[in-house]
Structure 1
Amino acid sequence: MEELKPELVQKCKVKLIDAKADILNRVREAKENLNKNFDDAKGGDEGDQTLRALAETEFLNMNERLRKQLVEIEMALARIESGSYGICEET
């Protein structure tokens, strides 16, 4: 089996690191927006509380999807470091 060229592996590593940073920024921004948009709604009427609950649920769902992506990125970066990146894994 032919190994990936080091230049290609390095490009992949840079893209993975950029993707990781992007995901972390998205989570941070979403959390800040959630807090900013609903800080005034604490103890509000039922409508405000319902909107906050829906926004929190949406945030948690997004956070879970992004967490799974981060795990995949971390695993790929670990394979790059171990020299096994680009080799098919059994699933």
Structure 2
Amino acid sequence: MSNLPNDLITKCRRKLLDAKAELLNRVKEARMDLHTSEDRGGDEGDQTMRALAESEFLSMTERLRKQLMEIEIALSRIENGNYG
């Protein structure tokens, strides 16, 4: 356990929660963009672009998922007093 000041711990926790909210918002926006592009018909080129967009979405969500896990671990450590 570290002897960090409570205000610093609170500030770090707030930054982690803000980062978590931003990541979740990015996933939500990307999902909405992906579904919007799926609603349109199109030729083979359009279908290829949608497939590429879906692949990009999956890659992005995997990166964001890893970042969210790291944030959750950091928040858990703060809650348990195992930080520093």
TM-score, normalising length from structure 1?
A: 0.86
Once the two structures are superposed, residues 18-60 of structure 1 have per-residue CA deviations (whole angstroms, 9 ceiling, x without a partner) of: 000000000000100111123113xx32111100100000000
Letter in 2 for 1:37: S
Percent identity of paired positions between Structure 1 and Structure 2? 63
Residue in structure 2 matched with residue 5 of structure 1 by the alignment: 5
**Could you tell me how far apart the structure 1 residues matched to 2:37 and 2:52 are?**
13
- Greater relative contact order, per chain length (Cα 8 Å cut-off, separation 6+): 2
User: Does 2:80 match 1:82?
Assistant: yes
Closer, same or farther: CA 12–57 of 1 in aligned 2, 3 Å: same
**Could you tell me how far apart the structure 1 residues matched to 2:60 and 2:7 are?**
33
Tell me how large the CA RMSD over aligned residues is.
1.4
SS of the residue corresponding to residue 10 of structure 1 reads helix
Residue in structure 2 matched with residue 63 of structure 1 by the alignment: 61
Gaps of 5+ in 1: 87-91
TM-score, normalising length from structure 2?
A: 0.93
Number of residue pairs matched by the alignment: 84
Gaps of 5+ in 2: none
